[in-house]
Structure 1
């Protein structure tokens, strides 16, 4: 594992911890898009189907479990926690995320590395992750009420994707035959889609 991937993983983990800190300690999800969190839960659920069948390393398995558990925990907090859900701005978080899901399903079916069940779902998760942040950005743009933790969460997500782009570039030049255009394209689309004014397999990202 190179330094860019490790730094990307740690930055991704930090973004999740910042969000959980906000929800658990402040008992508030103000400024957080449930739609984005549901999309991330779908991303991890479809990407990590191999968690109990293909062992890569202890690190890889632990990180997958952390991201799966944290993403579904966040969704549960916003939907079900008696105190936290009161702060959820349902009237502003109205992005129709089904319009993101359907194109990603279609693309995964026609553009993939191999037409198998796991590979198509893994490819779908890449496409979906590239656009999952959009409901969050729309919500922040509408409310204009951005606290420090929410801003840090969005910035950390952006840093995570930037570091993974560097990881891909590094591996392209240092590992023979390492080319994964779907993966790289997903990173670039997601990184480009962020608005920072808001202040399995060996090649698989977590």
Structure 2
């Protein structure tokens, strides 16, 4: 026990906790920059960022499946979030089959099937453990505005118009799909360990997608936001969606890492 407390990780954790907020902010920013530089040097094919992001998302779903099958409980999970995830994955899979048909299609398929299984378990097998009173965010709050945005702003490629609108819809829904889960956590002021692992995996997945855009913008000196924009602002909107996704989860990931540094998995959340 004494050796664990004196381990380099715990010593570093205690040192960080003693620092001022300015120092902590500097360390956090430096860590993000270091991670971006490392990813740029290690990953040459930028498409692999999205492959890794989708793979991490699937691993997060695997954590949920393990929770549901071993604990026989879906407490702490947002059904609305899982349904939004299934919506954008189903639409994206349909687009991917006709537009790409590559490894992204396979990853989207297995993730969608896994998500549908989680929804089935929550709706029927484990319904008694689902806290519906905390999961109250209506789906149309997300779906309707995203549909309107997709109709107005979508990529101008050679694909059919319906595919381009559907693809934009996926981007917009995915950007805010985690809101019901975070809203549920906020109401409960508590999150179970497996759910915490799952949400953190989503944060890592979002960071990988965000890293792709940051590196691409850096490599092209900003031109990546201007190329193929039609109508004029499609790419900047996609970039903005990535920023929204990342920062929605950044706060949770901060408290998750902070809790791990204290030797525990995030449970109670600050108001």
Both proteins in one fold, TM over 0.5: yes
Structure 2-normalised TM-score?
0.66
Counterpart among 183, 192, 212 of residue 167 in structure 1: 212
Structure 1-normalised TM-score?
0.85
Alpha-carbon distance in structure 2 between the residues aligned to 1:37 and 1:105: 18
1:144 alignment counterpart: 189
2:11 alignment counterpart: none
Q: Is the 8 A contact 1:112 1:182 kept in 2?
A: no
Can you give the 5+ residue segments of structure 1 that lack an aligned partner in the other structure? 200-206
**How far 1:13 moved relative to its partner?**
1.9
Can you give the 5+ residue segments of structure 2 that lack an aligned partner in the other structure? 1-44, 226-234, 257-265, 267-271
Query: For the pair shown, which has the larger CA radius of gyration, 1 or 2?
Result: 2
Counterpart among 109, 116, 121 of residue 161 in structure 2: 116
Alpha-carbon distance in structure 1 between the residues aligned to 2:92 and 2:105: 12
Counterpart among 92, 99, 106 of residue 148 in structure 2: 106
1:95 alignment counterpart: 137
* 3-state SS of 2:75 partner: coil
Alpha-carbon distance in structure 2 between the residues aligned to 1:54 and 1:125: 14
The alignment of Structure 1 onto Structure 2 pairs a total of residues equal to 196
Which structure ranks higher in relative contact order (CA pairs < 8 Å, sequence separation ≥ 6)? Answer: 1
> For 1:10-25, what aligned pairs fall within 5 Å after superposition?
10-25=55-70
Q: Is the 8 A contact 2:81 2:179 kept in 1?
A: yes
Segment drifting more, 31-40 vs 3-12 = 3-12
Alpha-carbon distance in structure 2 between the residues aligned to 1:50 and 1:128: 15
| 1:23-81 deviation line (CA, Å, top 9, x unaligned) | 12211110000011101111111112134434543x22321211221121111111122
